[in-house]
Amino acid sequence: MHNNSVNKPLLEVKDLCVAYGKVEALTQANLTVGEGQIVTVIGPNGAGKTTLLSAIMGVLGSKGQVCFDGTLESVPEVETLVGRGLGLVPEKRELFSSMSVEDNLKLGGFMRYRKGDRYQDSSLMEIYSLFPRLLERRKQAAATLSGGERQMLAVGRALMAKPKLLMLDEPSLGLAPLITREIFRIITDLRRQGVSILLVEQNARAALRVADYAYVLETGQIAMQGPAAELADDPRVVEAYLGAASKHQEMLAS
């Protein structure tokens, strides 16, 4: 098994372990995201993908090492990491549902604002140009948005903090194919703007198409890794994640 050899690692995770009580949900996970890379973690339900992102972000306690942007986080803490440029879009989106689209976005930039950065309006305009749909609906309460719009808002809110690395937990979950395509288009746009991406997905086909490098997580362990294009051709990946059966599953899910 080779490693993701990158010039400049932005995120390096070493021997990360998470246990829920006596049950180990993540075992000795090693993972690297290079600057400017899109890295994906694919795997079945319950493999530990959300657990991995939560541990990196400091939402969950873990053992092991998380090194972000050159600094080792001995105990990863959400607020510190957000301030240093790590963003997470959680699977459940977690919007403030009674608040408007625009207020949700402004809250995403709150930490920057508190530190004295007064460029909130220009950041808002950048988000609206990325997601024109959000501009149309900026006064609408988040609760009344469609699934795709909610996902756009969740991504937009994370972007307001100007992250260097954006972690996305199943951005295509529950979305129709056209909207899924839109979300993946935005992921490649973001990379062009210099944001690195760690993408967790069950939609392996779409994830391997946009990513540079990929990890397969199975029952809490990294079972395979490699350049995304190589993994997409690997017979084991094809059989388990890209074959006719999974295509059927994908259709049911969409």
Residues that bind ligand ATP (CB under 6 A): 20, 25, 43, 45-51, 202
Which residues share a beta bridge with 67?
Answer: 12, 72
CB of 23 to ligand ATP, least distance (A): 6
CB of 98 to ligand ATP, least distance (A): 26
CB of 238 to ligand ATP, least distance (A): 20
CB of 29 to ligand ATP, least distance (A): 11
Question: Is the CB of 169 or the CB of 212 nearer to ligand ATP?
Answer: 169
Token pair of 244 as six digits: 């006719």
Do 72 and 79 touch, CB atoms closer than 8 A? no
174-181: long-range pairs with CB below 8 Å, 24+: 174/147, 174/253, 175/147, 175/148, 175/151, 175/254, 176/148, 176/254, 177/254, 179/147, 179/148, 179/151, 180/206, 180/254, 181/206
Question: Is the CB of 229 or the CB of 245 nearer to ligand ATP?
Answer: 245
Question: Is the CB of 101 or the CB of 204 nearer to ligand ATP?
Answer: 204
Question: Is the CB of 102 or the CB of 250 nearer to ligand ATP?
Answer: 250
